[in-house]
Amino acid sequence: MTLSELTHSTGEWLRGVGSYSDVVISSRIRLARNLASMPFLSTATVEERTNIYQTLAKAIGEVSNGSNALLIDIENAEAIDRHLLVERHLISRQHAVAEGSRGVSISPTETLALMINEEDHLRIQALRSGLQLEDAWSEVNEVDDKIGKNLTYAFDQQFGFLTVCPTNVGTGIRVSVMVHLPALKLTKEIERVDRAARDMRLAVRGMYGEGTEAVGDLYQISNQTTLGRHEEEIIDDFSGKIIPRIAEYELTARDSLAKHRGAQVDDKIWRAYGALANARCISSEETLNLLSAIRMGIHMGRLDLIDIPKLNEIFLFTQPAHMQKRHGAPLTGEERAVKRADYIRKQMVA
Amino acid sequence: MSLVCDNCQEAKATVHITDTIPEKRERHLCKQCAEREGVLIKQTHQTTADILQEFIKHKAGVGEMDDKSCPQCGMTFREFRMKGQLGCPHDYEAFRSFLLPLIERAHNGGSHHVGKVPGSAGSDAKHRTELTRLRRELDEAVRNEQYEDAARIRDRMHILETEVSETS
């Protein structure tokens, strides 16, 4: 498997299946782990950092033996490839732009990504489409067990798994669910979701995680408490309460829009379609916002000219690194805008 | 229906209260008036990062611990306060008593780890996952008055709980 091969398909998290897939785009679980015998990356020397990288790369290699996983040396990877991995949610933005020895191991189906030397020595994450947290957890848990057998993790009886930042200590788990909430945004009820989430000590972020704005009505909801609760308890809260509640709330808002403001909603959806089908140059942000209206239209049964898999393909392939990787050469922002519009127009009539 | 606040007669009423004692009456208040009357508790929203930042900025009483350093990595508590990141796993030991209040605040009162421990067998975690699911199903069965199902679920939970407590 090579990185270029990845650009032919959308990857697991955009398959558009799983529970509540009309609202929930994807589920992700990550565990933060550090080696007991090494300093954290905040104080590690260049040699120590390299040593950590090699130790973990070897351990991951042994665990994923025969699974055809791809280990990417992020330090020496091209900028375009690093951004491609961010767009595919396989590494964080911080990991893409940081310095020093670091990498990621990706499973062929892109459901599993292990980041080496991100903020912590190791971050094990599993991605799934729709609401499939139990499945993601069982994969992460198993890999963690296997790696933990051969290495000694930094662990304390009271504080649990030790992390660079005390906000991740304990289980080291972060559960994140990406939800699409266009109707709540339109009816201006999104603030209430935001407030309710914060009351439950959940973080609400944009599509690319920490410090990013919500584009295309996509929000990532994640836990902040990692100490004092079982992993399964945290996961169960998301699967059984938090996400179903948010999803029901969004679906109710969609029903209400259909009932009371049908013409305005259709106008928004079909204008978005018209713009995408006719644009001659378009930014990725505008694309994401217009695709949001179309995604809502498809799920509300008000537009059937394209389907969700096709929409997800456009969603991913029109992002800057994907555009350039698929084109095979660097493109300026202006060139991308024209090429993006050309590509979308073709998809809309196809 | 858009109501005006009964109290200030200006802002839109968004809080609706039905008193039943001493007699039934309805009141409609705006957010500010409801907060002033104590009907609505003023919410402050903090992310964990905010809490950490606030703690780090809060210098009172930390003077004497600032120069304490970790014997393993040499990081001082002052450096941690500036960066928000610890230097090595041993820092948790070296700064334990200073870190505890911060950690409790960041984790909603949580001060002790529960959950996976290194080297723990996977089956224990699987049992716990199933237990959590069964607990939810049990609640639902009771709510729907499906007592036969509830009894069956309770039996299964009992077996799992015994197995979990034996292995841990």
Q: Which of B31, B41, B30 is nearest to B3 (CA)?
A: B30
- Cβ–Cβ under 8 Å, residues A302 and A269: yes
Q: Which of A78, A77, A127 is nearest to A104 (CA)?
A: A77
Residue A225: its pLDDT value, please?
A: 95
HSE at residue A313, side-chain half, CA atoms within 13 A, is 14
Asked if pLDDT for residue B105 goes beyond 80, the answer is yes
Mean pLDDT, range A6-15, rounded to an integer: 82
Q: Decide the pairing of beta strands A103-106 and A112-116.
A: antiparallel
- Which H/E stretch holds residue A126? strand A122-129
- For all residues of chain B together, what is the average pLDDT? 78
| Percent of chain A surpassing pLDDT 70 | 98
Q: Which CATH class is domain A3-254?
A: alpha beta
Residue A137: its pLDDT value, please?
A: 97
Nearest to A170 among B93, B109, B113 (CB): B113
Q: Which of A10-19, B44-53, B106-115 has the lowest mean pLDDT?
A: B44-53
| Percent of chain A surpassing pLDDT 90 | 84
Contact B89 A154 (CB under 8 A): yes
pLDDT class of B21 with cuts at 50, 70, 90: low
Asked if pLDDT for residue A200 goes beyond 60, the answer is yes
Q: pLDDT digit string (tens) for A203-212? A: 998 876 666 6
Bond prior to B101 in cis (omega within 30° of 0): no
Q: Decide the pairing of beta strands A155-156 and A160-161.
A: antiparallel
pTM of the model: 0.80
Contact B112 A233 (CB under 8 A): no
Residue A210: its pLDDT value, please?
A: 60
Asked if pLDDT for residue A335 goes beyond 80, the answer is yes
Q: pLDDT digit string (tens) for A73-118? A: 999 999 999 999 999 999 999 999 999 999 999 998 899 999 999 9
Maximal C-alpha separation, chain B: 68
- Which H/E stretch holds residue B103? helix B96-106
- Name the most confidently modeled range: A7-21, A23-37, A56-70, A202-216: A23-37
**Distance separating alpha carbons of residues B57 and B12, to the nearest angstrom:** 38
Closest approach of A265 to chain B, Cα-based (Å): 22
- Which is more confident, A201 or B53? A201
Contact B92 A159 (CB under 8 A): yes
Give the domain ranges of chain A.
3-254, 262-349
How far is the CA of A342 from the CAs of A77, A338, A339, B144, in angstroms? 29, 6, 5, 56
Which residues of chain A does B74 touch, with a Cβ-Cβ cutoff of 8 Å? 43
**Distance separating alpha carbons of residues A250 and A187, to the nearest angstrom:** 10
Q: Which of A255-259, A298-302, A344-348, B121-125 has the lowest mean pLDDT?
A: B121-125
Residue B59: its pLDDT value, please?
A: 47
Mean pLDDT, range A255-275, rounded to an integer: 97
Asked if pLDDT for residue A41 goes beyond 70, the answer is yes
- Partner B, chain A 171-190, Cβ-Cβ below 8 Å: 171, 173
Asked if pLDDT for residue A281 goes beyond 90, the answer is yes
Mean pLDDT, range A200-220, rounded to an integer: 81
The residue whose two tokens read 């914060």 is A198
pLDDT class of B136 with cuts at 50, 70, 90: confident
Give the domain ranges of chain B.
1-41, 48-106, 123-167
Nearest to B103 among A138, A169, A230 (CB): A169
Contact A170 B107 (CB under 8 A): yes
Residue B121: its pLDDT value, please?
A: 47
Asked if pLDDT for residue B159 goes beyond 90, the answer is no
Terminal CA-CA length for chain B: 58
User: CB count, 10 Å around CB of B100?
Assistant: 15
In sequence order, which ranges of A164-319 are alpha helices (DSSP H)?
182-186, 190-199, 231-237, 243-260, 262-278, 284-299, 308-317
Which residues of chain A does B77 touch, with a Cβ-Cβ cutoff of 8 Å? none
Q: pLDDT digit string (tens) for B54-67? A: 666 554 345 667 78
**Distance separating alpha carbons of residues A86 and A96, to the nearest angstrom:** 7
Residue A67: its pLDDT value, please?
A: 80
- For all residues of chain A together, what is the average pLDDT? 93
Asked if pLDDT for residue A245 goes beyond 90, the answer is yes
What phi, psi does A16 have (nearest 5°)? 75, 20
Q: pLDDT digit string (tens) for B72-90? A: 999 999 899 888 899 999 9
Using the Cβ of A192 and the Cβ atoms of chain B, whether some distance falls under 8 Å is answered with: no
Asked if pLDDT for residue B3 goes beyond 50, the answer is yes
